Structure 1
Amino acid sequence: MDPEASTNSPDTDPAGEVVDLCRELIRFDTSNYGEPDGSGGPGERKAAEYVAGLLEEVGIESRLYEGTPGRTNVVAHWGGGDPTRTDGLLLHGHLDVVPAAAEDWQVDPFAGEIVDGYVWGRGAVDMKDFDAMLLSLVRARQRAGRLPDRPIVLCFTADEEAGGHHGAQVLVEQHREEFEGCTDAVGEVGGFSTTVRGRRLYLIEAAEKGMAWMKLTARGRAGHGSMINDDNAVTRLAGAVARIGAHQWPVRLSPTMEVLLATVADLAGTEATPENAPALIEEFGGAARMLGAVIRNTANPTQLQAGYKVNVIPTEATAHLDGRFLPGYEDEFFTTLRELCGDDIEWDFLSHQQPWETPYDGDLVAAMTRSVLAEDPEALVAPYTMSGGTDAKHFRNLGLRSYGFAPLRLPADLDFTALFHGVDERVPIDALQFGARVFDRFLTDA
Structure 2
Amino acid sequence: MDVARLASSLIRIRSENPPGSTTEIVAFIAEFLDSLGVKNRIVSNSDGRDNLVTTEASPQLLLCGHVDVVPAIPDDWLYDPFSGTIADGYVWGRGATDMKGGCAALLVACRDLIESGVEPNVQFAFVCDEETGGEHGIRSLLAEGLLKPRECLIAEPTPHTSPAIGQKGLYRLDISFRGTPGHSSLYPLVGRSAIMAAFDLLGYLREVHAHQFPVDEDLQPLISQSAALFREIFGIEGGDSILTRVMFNPGRIEGGEKANIVAEQCRMDLDIRVPWGCLLEDLRRGIAEHAPDAVVREVDVAEPTLTPPGARVVRTVCAEVERVHGTAAPFLQWAASDAKYLRDEGFDVVEYGPGEITTLHAVDERVSIEQLERAVDVYRGVIRAYSG
Larger mean Cα displacement after TM superposition, 300-309 or 162-171: 300-309
Larger mean Cα displacement after TM superposition, 429-438 or 228-237: 228-237
1:184 aligned residue (144, 151, 166): 151
User: Residues 173, 335 of structure 1: CA spacing in aligned structure 2 closer, same or farther, 3 A cutoff?
Assistant: closer
Q: Note the C-alpha offset of 1:257.
A: 4.7
1:296 aligns with 2:245: yes
Q: Note the C-alpha offset of 1:433.
A: 0.6
Distance 2:229 2:85 in 1: 34
1:382 aligns with 2:329: yes
1:67 aligns with 2:45: yes
Q: Note the C-alpha offset of 1:236.
A: 2.0
Amino acid in structure 2 at the alignment position of 1:206: I
1:225 aligns with 2:184: yes
Question: Paired residue for 2:272?
Answer: 323
Q: Note the C-alpha offset of 1:328.
A: 4.3
Amino acid in structure 1 at the alignment position of 2:48: G
Q: Note the C-alpha offset of 1:313.
A: 2.7
Residue pair 2:222, 2:332 contacting (<8 A) in 1 also: no
1:172 aligns with 2:142: yes
Question: Paired residue for 1:158?
Answer: 128
Q: Note the C-alpha offset of 1:42.
A: 5.0
Amino acid in structure 2 at the alignment position of 1:388: A
Measured against aligned partners, the alpha-carbon deviations of 1:320-359 in whole angstroms (never above 9, x if no partner) come to 1101112442337615842883434432112223331111
Q: CA RMSD for the aligned pairs?
A: 2.6
Partner-residue secondary structure (3-state), 1:102: coil
Distance 1:113 1:281 in 2: 29
1:286 aligned residue (215, 219, 234): 234
Measured against aligned partners, the alpha-carbon deviations of 1:362-417 in whole angstroms (never above 9, x if no partner) come to 3322221221222222x2x22222222211222234311111122x4x8xxxxx43
How do residues 199-348 of structure 1 correspond to structure 2 at under 5 angstroms? 202-228=161-187, 229-245=190-206, 247-253=209-215, 257-261=219-223, 283-286=231-234, 288=236, 292-331=241-280, 334=283, 337-338=286-287, 341-348=290-297
Residue pair 1:297, 1:333 contacting (<8 A) in 2 also: no
Q: Note the C-alpha offset of 1:169.
A: 0.9
Residue pair 1:206, 1:256 contacting (<8 A) in 2 also: no
Measured against aligned partners, the alpha-carbon deviations of 1:238-265 in whole angstroms (never above 9, x if no partner) come to 232244357424144366752335658x
Measured against aligned partners, the alpha-carbon deviations of 1:2-25 in whole angstroms (never above 9, x if no partner) come to xxxxxxxxxxxxxx6210111011
Task: Quote the sequence identity (%).
Answer: 26
1:136 aligned residue (76, 101, 108): 108
2:91 aligned residue (119, 129, 132): 119
How do residues 97-116 of structure 1 correspond to structure 2 at under 5 angstroms? 97-116=69-88
Structure 1 stretches lacking a partner, 5+ long: 1-15, 34-40, 81-85, 194-201, 265-277, 411-415
Residue pair 2:233, 2:358 contacting (<8 A) in 1 also: no
Residue pair 2:103, 2:155 contacting (<8 A) in 1 also: no
Q: Note the C-alpha offset of 1:125.
A: 0.9
Amino acid in structure 1 at the alignment position of 2:147: F
Which TM-score applies when normalising by structure 1? 0.78
Q: Note the C-alpha offset of 1:126.
A: 0.7
Structure 2 stretches lacking a partner, 5+ long: none
Q: Note the C-alpha offset of 1:98.
A: 0.7
Distance 1:333 1:118 in 2: 46
Higher strand proportion: 1
Distance 1:153 1:367 in 2: 17
Residue pair 1:218, 1:345 contacting (<8 A) in 2 also: yes
The size of the alignment, in residue pairs, is 382
Amino acid in structure 1 at the alignment position of 2:153: V
Partner-residue secondary structure (3-state), 2:98: coil
Q: Runs in 1 of length 4+ with deviation above 6 angstroms?
A: none
